[in-house]
Amino acid sequence: MIIDNHNFFEGFFINGLTFVILTFIFLKYFKSIFPISTPSTRSALSHEPIPRGIGIVFPISFILSNFTFYHSTEINISYLSLILCCTAIGFFDDLRNINYIKKLISLTFVFILIIFIEPEILLFKNLNFITSFTISIFFFIFYVLFFNQIDGINGLSSGTFCFFLASLIFLNPFEFSYLGMFINIIGIVFLYFILNLFFTKFFQGDSGAYFLGSVAYLAFQENEKFLFVSLILLFPILGDIIWTTLMRIYFGYNLSQPHKEHLYQKSVTYFKIHLPVTMCHIILQSLLFLIIYFLKLHKHDYVNQIVCLMIFGGFISLFYLYTAYSFNKVK
């Protein structure tokens, strides 16, 4: 693969600009189609009513940019179908607040349907079909729910996504069969990240979170041999989710109910502002990326990579436990 940086930068810019223009048009002329987000049991801070579900504009921006006036990016139709279906389920959830079990069933059905059309989206295709399918559906649901779980404060899910995907591309650009497609998507989400973090006039909603999760799965699928690295890049916020989930199970809380018990939510409540909390997580991601890149650059063997990253992960885990205790996280 020949990497044309000029074309990639152009695609990044055009897709991001298209998102901004379409968002303005939708909010000005079609605002009534979006549900209104009000402070809830999941809100870390109170806020005025804000349109939710703008994530539906993500794939629309991508399609309009790449099929109308920008044609230099090769696109996998099966990838796009999975992304569109997941975003549609998320938008319907924004409108109707779908039951948790129905969401899982809908996502599973869509994934199975796409697999029958294009089995290439499966992970570890060298294994037998049942094993490959089981692993694939687990990670697909994992990524969708992960980005939905962390969509509780401004910029966290979109910022985490951009850094995660950009890191995978930087570490292994030649692993991507559709590199331009993923870079163009980063352009869209990055512009949303900036607008959401600094202006907060709209939220991506579940449609945006499901979009991010489906794209993250596809990027992971193209880098499946870097399974460990892919998960480590998400560890700062993943540690928060695992810890909070275990505590909620221990204390008998309903896992499907909205809440604000995550450390990042507690942190925002404590500091009364979103920006430093979001940036703190991105900085932790950056440190993990630098360690991974250093180990890759110096060709350390796989065991050394695991040991070093586990040590660093242990320090982050201790940080989470200490901070959770300080904020009286566990009731």
- pLDDT tens track for 286-321: 888 887 777 766 565 555 556 666 666 666 666 665
Runs of H (alpha helix) within the chain: 5-29, 57-64, 77-96, 100-117, 129-149, 156-171, 179-198, 205-222, 227-232, 235-250, 263-271, 275-297, 302-326
Domain locations along the chain: 7-33+50-225, 234-331
Each residue of 284-295: pLDDT tens digit?
A: 888 888 877 777
- Alpha-carbon distance of 255 to 249, in angstroms, equals 7
pLDDT at 191: 94
pLDDT at 69: 58
pLDDT at 171: 83
Each residue of 10-59: pLDDT tens digit?
A: 878 888 899 999 999 998 888 888 888 765 545 555 456 788 899 999 99
**Which of 12-47 are b and which e, b meaning 16 or more Cβ less than 10 Å from the residue's Cβ?**
bebbbebbbebbeebeeeeeeebbebeeeeebbeee
Residue 187 contacts residue 12 (beta carbons within 8 Å): yes
Mean pLDDT by 10 residues, the chain (331 residues): 58 88 90 77 60 92 78 75 95 88 92 89 89 93 92 88 91 80 92 89 91 94 79 80 79 73 77 82 83 69 61 62 53 43
- Alpha-carbon distance of 161 to 146, in angstroms, equals 10
- Alpha-carbon distance of 266 to 243, in angstroms, equals 13
For 326, residues 6+ apart whose C-beta sits below 8 A from its C-beta are none
pLDDT at 329: 45
As a dihedral over the C-alpha atoms of residue 27, residue 204, residue 99, residue 242, rounded to 10 degrees, the angle is -170
Task: Decide the pairing of beta strands 36-37 and 50-51.
Answer: antiparallel
- Alpha-carbon distance of 168 to 165, in angstroms, equals 5
pLDDT at 330: 40
pLDDT at 73: 58
> Whose CA is closest to 146, among 41, 37, 233?
233
Six-digit token string for 174:
């030649």
pLDDT at 303: 59
The pTM of this model reads 0.87
- Alpha-carbon distance of 169 to 173, in angstroms, equals 5
pLDDT at 92: 93
What's at 230, amino acid-wise?
A: S
CA torsion through residues 63, 96, 26, 197, sign: negative
